[in-house]
Amino acid sequence: MKQARIAVPRGIPISEKGQWVSHVLLRQFAGDDERAFAELSSVPPLTRVNAFLERVVSFEEGTTAELLPQLSIGDKVALILHVRRLELGDRLDCIVSCTKCGKSMSVVLSVSRLLNHVSPPQSLSYAVEACGFRLQIQPLTIRDQDMLLNAKEGEDLEEALARACIVSSDSQLPEKLPGLVIQAIGSKLQEVDPLSDIALDITCPECGHKFHTSFNPEDFVFGELGIGHGDLESEIHWLAMHYHWGEKEILSLPVRRRRKYISLINSAITGAIT
């Protein structure tokens, strides 16, 4: 099973003396992982994403259960993009609809270029000033994002997540954060954890309209891989029938290799190859 040692853009601080976890071990997603993942079809999307990472990510400095929730959202996105490159390569073929004329267009992205953001020097916190407040903030983590799953009905999630970033303030904050404070925190997060919210600059070839659109790597990559779409049992049956492999052998294959064998079988049947 292919495994790669990946440098994450921000990393995880593990001491106040400047020690950071800067690398993770990432392995390919195999059939037995896919089966376990498919069983989570009824749970919220964020839980499924975290379960996906729990199966393919490991750390040299500590346990996955301990360290994974401490990854920033940008680091989480980086790992999902690295998984995609391990499985399917660097090129991403996307379809985007123009926000003015509604026409669909093809957009080609590159995992390497998306990952090629320059992150600021590692720091436990970053200064933000707005509305007379001087704050120290830190990027949102996977644990913070999970707040979305447990938020009370009617709660202002934008404010709740902004508060989750605040480490300290030079004066007491009001019960409701001013909008300019929330905006300033959001702008700083874009600077210190740029992959946490990927925005694409698009020009429509039909009408010339220029617009911004968000790119959600989790949804895109899971859709591409077809994980949890219910085809696994059929693929196991197809490979077992033609190659006479056992279920355990088939489930140990990386998803990309398993589908390559299926493609070869189908091509042989149709006469495309002999």
pLDDT tens digit string along 102-129?
999 999 999 999 998 777 788 999 999 9
pLDDT at residue 185 greater than cutoff 70: yes
Write down the pLDDT at residue 155: 74
* Residue 253 CB coordination number (10 Å): 20
Q: What is the pTM of this model?
A: 0.84
Write down the pLDDT at residue 67: 94
Write down the pLDDT at residue 69: 93
Report the chain's mean pLDDT, rounded to a whole number. Answer: 88
Write down the pLDDT at residue 33: 80
Token digits of residue 95: 């379809």
Token digits of residue 148: 């979305």
% of the chain residues with pLDDT over 90: 55
Average pLDDT score over residue span 48-62: 89
* Residue 228 CB coordination number (10 Å): 17
CA distance 114 to 108: 11
Kindly report which listed range (150-154, 161-165, 215-219) carries the lowest average pLDDT score.
150-154
Point out which residues pair with 4 in neighbouring strands. Answer: 26
Average pLDDT score over residue span 4-19: 86
Token digits of residue 149: 């799953």
% of the chain residues with pLDDT over 70: 94
Write down the pLDDT at residue 229: 55
Higher local confidence (pLDDT), 37 or 188: 188
Token digits of residue 213: 């659109």
Write down the pLDDT at residue 170: 95
Provide the angle, in degrees to the nearest 10, between the axes of the packed helices 45-56 and 31-38.
Answer: 160
Higher local confidence (pLDDT), 114 or 35: 114
Average pLDDT score over residue span 127-133: 96
Contact 127, 135 (CB under 8 A): yes
